[in-house]
Chain A
């Protein structure tokens, strides 16, 4: 079975880190030392602090909040999991995205007493932008609502209709209690009215993202010259490469033929596939035009242009204003560019209301919008959102990632 990376998302204090700790505890996946530490670091009432498994910083435990993303890898049954914990605070959105962007699936934790809050909605909207479609909803702290079915049904209805409004559909909605262990790994005796899966079995039912693109996409990462031979290094982002193949290099649209595929210790490679970091040796004599950022492909389905359009989320505390300059980075390409337009901006207010603005002159932390950029140089990109060339980030001063998103037409 495919390994699964799952991120736990949701509003502040709805119980994301506690859920992870409890899940690992109930599945018997904690080490001897982690178990010991749980007992040592229990709270003043002598209860186990499950959140401390993930919250390792002294400040995190002191203030009872996750400051930064972390993840934990474990095996259960035959499957390898990575569970990603992220902070729930609005200000820490950059750290949430850092953790969430590599997930296949998400578990959304909602406090039954509070229902959908600001970050509940914001995190779900981001999932959509990160191309994460598999989602399970955990309605948590059921013990504090007397395990009431009505309370659960109300939150479930709200959540399903909110997700529907952003074209998402949860695989399951499960009433749980992380602190008392109800419906985490074992069926709850406190909620006989619920007949669905536990959180652990719902997690196991989720599937990893699979690549569907067949065309060759090979962005040049670096050019080496070892022992008088030029080796073009990069990772095959999609498709397969074999010796003798003729590939077109964007943006020049020049053809080169693959003479040899190099990997250390593996002579005579007949084919290399998606995900492999390889070195390509080409038959042509003049390879001076090949540089980092060029993209080799066997398809015409790539765009080349300097006028870029995309949908982005903003994760920097410093707002993006029309007219400001950023470095636009997509795979191994980077080019400076200027923001020329911001439209269809979505803002989630403090009380969770969604506010849309058709045309705006800036974009602040946590907001999502369509953006237009005039780049100083042409970039090679795609608009299919499963392509590695469809995602880009915007860096301030060529250093810090301030926003990210995907290209569209």
Chain B
């Protein structure tokens, strides 16, 4: 098996394990490259179907291309799509220009996720984070239990050994985050996208000398200098790049430990 096969099989094993251990499970899909690769891995794991809901946490500040992409893929893969917004905060005017970015991420992403987990009674959600994205995400487990108040007890994470995981049995205890692509790097994701011929939002491809390397909310994402107009060109660009992926994400830059704070409160 080549590297791609090894990575894919590990992810599929984790996805199947998660669905077996948590009958009420959902997949968080942001339409970015990582969660789209995860969506495809789920589709493959269950032989051409995703037997659980796919959730989009919509901050209302996403790029318009993201919405178009979402609806097109949802139709093609016949997804059971749930779109969820923290309507109260949005109508209350919460946005990235209101105070700290951290507060906006907490309200529009973390709180919205809390609402949707409670509403649908999810015991677990599959999330497409990767270790190489950020030092804090590098500390994560494949199966990460979260308390009822959503907190990530990063000081006391449970052991994982030989594909045996911690699986809280009672719903009272909160939910679990499952991270099936934790072991993949940014370059792995692009090579996987190429191998599987997956569609990507064209914001990732260079226009006028710039492209987005990481996509979230429009006001908080800046493009990077790049001439990569195709997936192949992105791969060769990354093979020689020394700039990190989240260089264009505003919430990482406010403070060295913003990501730690966001994640300890339940951010994805």
Q: Which residues of A does B touch, CB under 8 Å?
A: 3, 30-34, 37, 40-41, 53-54, 56-59, 67-73, 80, 94-95, 97-98, 101, 221-222, 224, 226, 231, 233, 235, 262-265, 273, 275-277, 279, 292, 315, 329, 331, 388, 391, 393, 395, 397-401, 404
| A80 contacts across to B, CB distance below 8 A | 3
Cα(A101)–Cα(B1), bound, Å: 21
CB <8 Å contact, B3 and A221: no
CB <8 Å contact, A277 and B159: no
CB <8 Å contact, B243 and A67: no
Cα(A280)–Cα(B1), bound, Å: 19
CB distance from A331 to the nearest CB of B (A): 8
CB <8 Å contact, B139 and A57: yes
Q: Which residues of B does A touch, CB under 8 Å?
A: 1, 3, 5-6, 9, 12-13, 16-17, 19-20, 43-49, 131-132, 134-136, 138-139, 141, 154-155, 157-164, 166-169, 183, 185, 242-244, 247, 256-257, 260
| B19 contacts across to A, CB distance below 8 A | 222
CB <8 Å contact, B260 and A57: yes
17 sample A-B contacts, Cβ–Cβ < 8 Å, listed by A number: A31-B242, A54-B138, A68-B139, A70-B138, A72-B131, A73-B131, A80-B3, A98-B160, A221-B17, A222-B16, A263-B44, A265-B48, A391-B162, A393-B162, A397-B169, A400-B158, A404-B161
CB <8 Å contact, B16 and A221: yes
Given A226-B49, A277-B12, check contact A399 B154 (CB 8 Å).
no
* Neighbour of A400 across the interface among B13, B138, B155, B166, CB < 8 A: B166
CB <8 Å contact, B13 and A73: no
Given A71-B131, A315-B159, A401-B159, check contact A275 B6 (CB 8 Å).
yes
* Neighbour of A56 across the interface among B164, B167, B168, B260, CB < 8 A: B260
| B46 contacts across to A, CB distance below 8 A | 224, 226
Cα(A246)–Cα(B23), bound, Å: 32
CB <8 Å contact, B9 and A235: yes
CB distance from A329 to the nearest CB of B (A): 5
CB <8 Å contact, B164 and A73: no
| A37 contacts across to B, CB distance below 8 A | 256
CB distance from A85 to the nearest CB of B (A): 9
Closest B residue, CB atoms, query A70: B138
CB <8 Å contact, A94 and B159: yes
CB <8 Å contact, B131 and A70: yes
| B243 contacts across to A, CB distance below 8 A | 31-33
Apart from A72-B131, A292-B20, list 6 A-B contacts with CB within 8 A: A73-B185, A95-B157, A97-B159, A221-B16, A222-B19, A331-B163
CB distance from B258 to the nearest CB of A (A): 10
Cα(A152)–Cα(B158), bound, Å: 38
Given A264-B43, A401-B164, check contact A277 B9 (CB 8 Å).
yes
CB distance from B15 to the nearest CB of A (A): 9
| A57 contacts across to B, CB distance below 8 A | 136, 139, 154, 257, 260
CB <8 Å contact, B244 and A34: yes
CB <8 Å contact, A395 and B43: no
| A264 contacts across to B, CB distance below 8 A | 43-45, 47-48
Given A73-B185, A264-B48, A277-B12, check contact A56 B160 (CB 8 Å).
no
Cα(A276)–Cα(B44), bound, Å: 13
Cα(A328)–Cα(B168), bound, Å: 16
Cα(A53)–Cα(B138), bound, Å: 11
CB <8 Å contact, A395 and B164: yes
Which of A56, A273, A400 has the most CB atoms of chain B within a 10 A radius of its CB? A56
| B17 contacts across to A, CB distance below 8 A | 221
Which of B6, B12, B13, B161 has the most CB atoms of chain A within a 10 A radius of its CB? B161
CB <8 Å contact, B47 and A58: no
| A263 contacts across to B, CB distance below 8 A | 44
| B244 contacts across to A, CB distance below 8 A | 31-34
Closest B residue, CB atoms, query A329: B164
| A262 contacts across to B, CB distance below 8 A | 47
Cα(A194)–Cα(B47), bound, Å: 57
Cα(A59)–Cα(B260), bound, Å: 10
Cα(A31)–Cα(B13), bound, Å: 31
CB distance from B235 to the nearest CB of A (A): 13
* Neighbour of B13 across the interface among A34, A235, A279, A398, CB < 8 A: A235
| A397 contacts across to B, CB distance below 8 A | 169
Closest A residue, CB atoms, query B138: A70
Given A72-B132, A399-B167, check contact A97 B161 (CB 8 Å).
yes
CB <8 Å contact, B1 and A398: no
| B158 contacts across to A, CB distance below 8 A | 94, 400-401
Cα(A57)–Cα(B256), bound, Å: 10
| B43 contacts across to A, CB distance below 8 A | 264
CB <8 Å contact, A72 and B138: yes
| B16 contacts across to A, CB distance below 8 A | 221-222, 233, 277
Cα(A320)–Cα(B134), bound, Å: 37
CB <8 Å contact, B157 and A68: yes
CB distance from A387 to the nearest CB of B (A): 11
| B163 contacts across to A, CB distance below 8 A | 331
| A54 contacts across to B, CB distance below 8 A | 135, 138
Given A58-B257, A235-B9, check contact A393 B132 (CB 8 Å).
no
Given A33-B247, A73-B132, check contact A95 B256 (CB 8 Å).
no
| B159 contacts across to A, CB distance below 8 A | 94-95, 97-98, 315, 400-401
CB distance from A86 to the nearest CB of B (A): 12
CB distance from A131 to the nearest CB of B (A): 11
Closest A residue, CB atoms, query B245: A31
Cα(A189)–Cα(B261), bound, Å: 44
Cα(A235)–Cα(B3), bound, Å: 17
| B185 contacts across to A, CB distance below 8 A | 73
CB <8 Å contact, A101 and B47: no
Cα(A276)–Cα(B6), bound, Å: 8
Which of B19, B138, B243 has the most CB atoms of chain A within a 10 A radius of its CB? B138
Given A32-B242, A68-B157, check contact A399 B168 (CB 8 Å).
yes
